[in-house]
A and B are shown apart, each in its own frame.
Chain A
């Protein structure tokens, strides 16, 4: 009669995706921010192709990090405000899996579109085409890490006054390893060095975040509904 746990997680993800489609403007906001913020750099730094090519990895990664932050505030905030969080906690899923479902939805609605937008942005900044696969692989791992860490931070600040201000202060330091390895892999690829070690470290970071972040987020959700 009752749905098995994995199907229930998918049902929560599906509900979030449907919500994201209904509120399309909110969903696209993060990607548009990413593209616009990236497009500001040539205007500010000047159109020197050499300079932009040198800076492209850093620009793409920092913009992706900031863009992924944008929807975090509402990830659990809207659920708490309208009482849906209580109902989610009573669906029969452990809180950590509720959190994991929300993080998955965050990645599908923010991380995945960022991946699609990253290619054009990187080409615009003059990143050589052979480096693009390294960028996208790194960003694939990196956006997953950001969704996990971001979801954890969002659940921890849930219910706090000025949570929106607290959120970047919590996420940005935790996300710096992803930023360092991801941008370093690109740098290495551009200068012809080996980029695999950096991506492997990024993968290790993801492997650690995957079990730990949902657990911490689950505890945060429990505390938020109390």
Chain B
């Protein structure tokens, strides 16, 4: 499953990820050659990655490099103009409603309704996945705030609530857009435990970030800004830190 930049200008896969295990088995999440246009602008060009159960991937790159767009493609919220997302060998984007069950997505926004209490905000996700909202709130140290309306919460508390919803979904694939936004050091410690527990049970974490995250042995995918005119060598670079 090695992919190399071929150097030929026409069909140049702009990125490679080296699979964590040398076994020839198919990786759980296999993303091939994703390309996305936003209007007339090419945002992602031939991005590929391969992750096994328990892996973590950090997506980095300058603003506008398409990190969030890639996450939305992986969540099935956006259809790419080219490329495939394979989950256990199955084309995940062919049935995006079924793919939704595999995904827990944390966007830029916390998606909390100001008028509802924290518990009410989480209740839909909890019911959909059949999980316990109190347990998820406890995991993010929110138990004392469960009955407060979301409008009274601080930015960091809202972020934690959104993370609690990620945990509630009980989905194998976590797609997190800057999960540490607004979190204090204590909450980042909670994040560490959350990630660890998820990966220990075979979950995958893919996170965009501009700051260090408490992820042990993450792989890394650096997306270039394809529209940066100052650079002529734009290629997504990958290193395997494990």
Q: Please, which residues of chain B bring their CB within 8 A of the CB of A91?
A: 100, 124-125, 128
Where the two chains meet, the residues of B that have a C-beta atom closer than 8 Å to any C-beta of A are 72, 75-79, 97, 100-101, 103-105, 107-113, 115-116, 120, 123-125, 127-130, 165, 169
Q: Please, which residues of chain B bring their CB within 8 A of the CB of A93?
A: 97
Residue of A nearest to B108 (CB): A83
Please report the C-alpha to C-alpha distance between residue A83 and residue B71 in the assembled complex, in whole angstroms.
14
Can you identify 19 A-B contacts, CB atoms within 8 angstroms?
Answer: A3-B127, A8-B127, A11-B123, A18-B116, A19-B115, A19-B116, A22-B115, A83-B107, A86-B107, A87-B111, A87-B165, A89-B77, A89-B100, A90-B75, A90-B104, A92-B128, A225-B78, A226-B78, A226-B79
CB distance from B102 to the nearest CB of A (A): 10
Please report the C-alpha to C-alpha distance between residue A225 and residue B76 in the assembled complex, in whole angstroms.
10
Residue of A nearest to B110 (CB): A83
Please report the C-alpha to C-alpha distance between residue A84 and residue B82 in the assembled complex, in whole angstroms.
27
Q: Please, which residues of chain A bring their CB within 8 A of the CB of B78?
A: 225-226
Q: Please, which residues of chain A bring their CB within 8 A of the CB of B128?
A: 2-3, 8, 11, 91-92
Interface bits A123-147 vs B (CB < 8 Å: 1, else 0): 0000000000000000000000000
A76-117, CB < 8 A from B? 82-84, 86-87, 89-95
Given known contacts A83-B110, A225-B78, is B115 in contact with A90 (CB within 8 Å)?
no
Q: How many A-B residue pairs have C-beta atoms within 8 angstroms? Tell me.
A: 78
Please report the C-alpha to C-alpha distance between residue A225 and residue B104 in the assembled complex, in whole angstroms.
16
Interface bits A15-36 vs B (CB < 8 Å: 1, else 0): 1001100110000000000000
Residue of B nearest to A83 (CB): B109
Q: Please, which residues of chain A bring their CB within 8 A of the CB of B112?
A: 82
* In contact, A94 and B125 (Cβ under 8 angstroms): no
A1 within 8 A of B: yes
Known contacts A15-B116, A82-B112; 12 additional CB pairs below 8 A are A2-B101, A3-B127, A8-B127, A15-B120, A82-B111, A82-B113, A83-B110, A84-B111, A87-B111, A91-B100, A92-B101, A225-B78
* In contact, A11 and B127 (Cβ under 8 angstroms): yes
A12 within 8 A of B: yes
Task: Tell which of A1, A22, A90 touches B116, judged by Cβ atoms closer than 8 Å.
Answer: A22
Q: Please, which residues of chain B bring their CB within 8 A of the CB of A95?
A: 97
9 tightest A-B CB contacts, nearest first: A83-B109, A22-B115, A83-B111, A90-B100, A84-B111, A1-B130, A83-B107, A91-B128, A226-B78
For B105, B112, B113, B123, the residue with the greatest tally of chain A CB atoms inside 10 Å of its CB is B113
* In contact, A2 and B107 (Cβ under 8 angstroms): no
Where the two chains meet, the residues of A that have a C-beta atom closer than 8 Å to any C-beta of B are 1-3, 7-8, 11-12, 15, 18-19, 22-23, 82-84, 86-87, 89-95, 225-226
Residue of B nearest to A226 (CB): B78
CB distance from A217 to the nearest CB of B (A): 15
Given known contacts A22-B115, A225-B77, is B123 in contact with A15 (CB within 8 Å)?
yes
* In contact, A2 and B105 (Cβ under 8 angstroms): no
Please report the C-alpha to C-alpha distance between residue A94 and residue B98 in the assembled complex, in whole angstroms.
9
* In contact, A226 and B77 (Cβ under 8 angstroms): yes
Q: Please, which residues of chain A bring their CB within 8 A of the CB of B75?
A: 86, 90
Residue of A nearest to B128 (CB): A91
* In contact, A2 and B124 (Cβ under 8 angstroms): no
CB distance from A8 to the nearest CB of B (A): 6
Given known contacts A2-B130, A91-B100, is B105 in contact with A86 (CB within 8 Å)?
yes
* In contact, B116 and A82 (Cβ under 8 angstroms): no
Please report the C-alpha to C-alpha distance between residue A83 and residue B181 in the assembled complex, in whole angstroms.
16
Task: Tell which of B108, B125, B129 touches A1, judged by Cβ atoms closer than 8 Å.
Answer: B129
Residue of B nearest to A2 (CB): B130
Please report the C-alpha to C-alpha distance between residue A194 and residue B74 in the assembled complex, in whole angstroms.
58
* In contact, A90 and B103 (Cβ under 8 angstroms): yes
Q: Please, which residues of chain B bring their CB within 8 A of the CB of A18?
A: 116, 120
CB distance from B114 to the nearest CB of A (A): 8
Residue of B nearest to A225 (CB): B77
Q: Please, which residues of chain A bring their CB within 8 A of the CB of B124?
A: 11-12, 15, 87, 91
Q: Please, which residues of chain B bring their CB within 8 A of the CB of A12?
A: 124
Please report the C-alpha to C-alpha distance between residue A2 and residue B78 in the assembled complex, in whole angstroms.
24
Q: Please, which residues of chain A bring their CB within 8 A of the CB of B105?
A: 86-87, 90
Please report the C-alpha to C-alpha distance between residue A84 and residue B169 in the assembled complex, in whole angstroms.
15
CB distance from A121 to the nearest CB of B (A): 29
